[in-house]
Copies of this chain bind each other. A is one copy, B any other.
Amino acid sequence: METRIEEYTVGELAKAARISVRTLHHYDAIGLLKPAHVAANGYRLYRRAEAERLQEILFYRATGMDLAQIALVLDGGDDRLDRLQAHRAKLDADAKSLAEMIQTLDRSIAVIKGDPPMALEDLYKPFAPETQADYEAWLVQTYGPTMVDEIAKAKEHLANADMEDRIDQLRQIETGLVQAYQEGQARPDALLDAHRDWVSEMWGNACPPAAYGGLAELYRNHPDFLARYEALAPGFSRWLPDAMEAYVAGLT
């Protein structure tokens, strides 16, 4: 009873690792995992070294790494750590955009369900809790802390009764903008003037073009605004920031 060297066929290895035979063929084809040798009949034969390498491959695959990167991590030189951290950064970015998608979708679902689409009052009085943080971060980064303080002061001047009036004004401006969008107007500059004035008053009588452009960016990316403007008319949430930026560009 002679002891053969321990070797696995594709089927055996695939079963042990709970993957498909095709996957092993694929890894062979792209050079990621070659069999220890190929028998005369063409059969691929793997040994323990290959089985271990396969497990490593699957471990990294389970973290979402693509096969080319896995090959580099396993065979590359000293920069394993760099590559892993690069991958880690990518996962972070993915997680971030996923979180944004979820928020946007949630708002949309709420709107369709008939829940009030995040009342204007909440968006602007002064700003919703989550919105507030993003918004202030952006303000500070762009204009420094002074601006934020000024806005805070300006807001205190607005009594509640005033606020309702102002919200009504904004609603009218927005209705006009939606009409402009639906009629296909290219440059609703008069309405945007009014909008910028409105924002300006909210910000303590200052809204330089760059700030208005920044606000466009905020509208484009923030789930609360996105869902609210999308609810006004399909496509409006994407049109408005574009129009705002075109308007800013036109302010010579």
Using a CB–CB cutoff of 8 Å, the interface residues on chain A facing chain B are 6, 16-18, 48, 51-56, 58-59, 62-64, 80-81, 84-85, 87-88, 91-92, 94-95, 98-99, 101-102, 104-106, 108-109, 112-113, 182, 184, 226, 230, 233-239, 242
Q: How far is the CB of A87 from chain B (nearest CB, A)?
A: 7
Known contacts A52-B235, A55-B234, A84-B108; A98 and B101 CB within 8 A of each other: no
Q: Beyond the given A53-B234, A55-B237, could you list 4 further A-B residue pairs with CB under 8 A, ordered by the A residue number? A: A51-B184, A81-B113, A88-B109, A92-B102
Chain B residues with CB under 8 Å of A54's CB are 235
In the complex, which residue of chain B has the Cβ closest to the Cβ of A51?
B235
Q: How far is the CA of A95 from the CA of B99 in the complex (A)?
A: 8
Top 8 closest A-B pairs, CB basis? A55-B235, A56-B234, A63-B101, A52-B235, A63-B105, A64-B101, A55-B238, A48-B184
Chain B residues with CB under 8 Å of A99's CB are 95
Copies of this chain assembled into the complex? 2
Known contacts A48-B184, A55-B234, A95-B102; A85 and B109 CB within 8 A of each other: yes
Chain B residues with CB under 8 Å of A81's CB are 109, 112-113
Known contacts A95-B102, A101-B63; A80 and B235 CB within 8 A of each other: no
**Selected A-B contacts with CB under 8 Å, 18 pairs:** A6-B184, A16-B242, A51-B184, A52-B182, A52-B234, A53-B234, A55-B235, A55-B236, A56-B234, A59-B234, A59-B235, A63-B101, A63-B105, A63-B108, A80-B112, A91-B98, A91-B101, A98-B98
Q: How far is the CB of A250 from chain B (nearest CB, A)?
A: 16
